[in-house]
Amino acid sequence: ELREVYQKYGSTWRMRRVTHQVLNASNDPEETFEQEWDWHAVNDILVPKAYSYRKLLGNGEVTKFERTIEFLDTQVNVPIDVAEYSVGSLGLAEGDILNDERAKRVKIQSEGNLLPAEEVLPITGHSGASGWDVKWVLAGNALFVMAATLIVAFNRKRTA
């Protein structure tokens, strides 16, 4: 089981990847993306409960890959003060991924230490079918964090 932890703007999200399946390895330039969000309220702030992401090829009939994640818990911290939070307080478990927005790095908890992702994950070429591709991890997680942050910030402003 792979768990990922996101900490940004006073909220901490811990989630579990439910599925991640590469369905087609084509490099079609006509790729499109689909996202689905499931929300619930924590302290009157809407936060993600589950998230699905699909990359479609060409006319949208062929799915290149699909990823679904389910949030295990969400903590909304008020007041929002970046100085209140530290990586040590997150309670990371072995294999957890931390998206460090301040350092613009993805780190993984490994053997009791937070290490840069490229030191922990085996790197495969884009044609390799097994293992992790660090470039995909960085790009996919960055895209997700940006989208989730914008939506949560919008909902906070709307409920304020």
pLDDT digits (tens, 9 = 90+) for 12-30: 555 554 444 444 455 555 6
Cα→Cα distances 96→28, 62, 134, Å: 32, 31, 15
- pLDDT bucket at 9, cuts 50 / 70 / 90: very low
pLDDT mean across residues, the chain:
60
For residues 67 and 20, the model is more confident at: 67
74-124 per-position pLDDT tens digit: 655 444 444 444 555 556 667 777 666 556 667 777 777 777 777 766 544
* Residue 4: CB atoms within 10 Å: 23
Question: What is the domain range of residue 14?
Answer: 3-159
Residue 141 has pLDDT above 60, yes or no: no
Residue 5 has pLDDT above 60, yes or no: no
Please tell me the predicted confidence (pLDDT) of residue 30. Answer: 65
Mean pLDDT is lowest, of 55-64, 100-109, 110-119, 130-139, for 130-139
Residue 136 has pLDDT above 60, yes or no: no
Tokens matching residue 69: 């994640």
What is the domain count for the chain?
Answer: 1
Picking from 156, 154, 140, the residue whose alpha carbon sits closest to that of residue 69 is 140
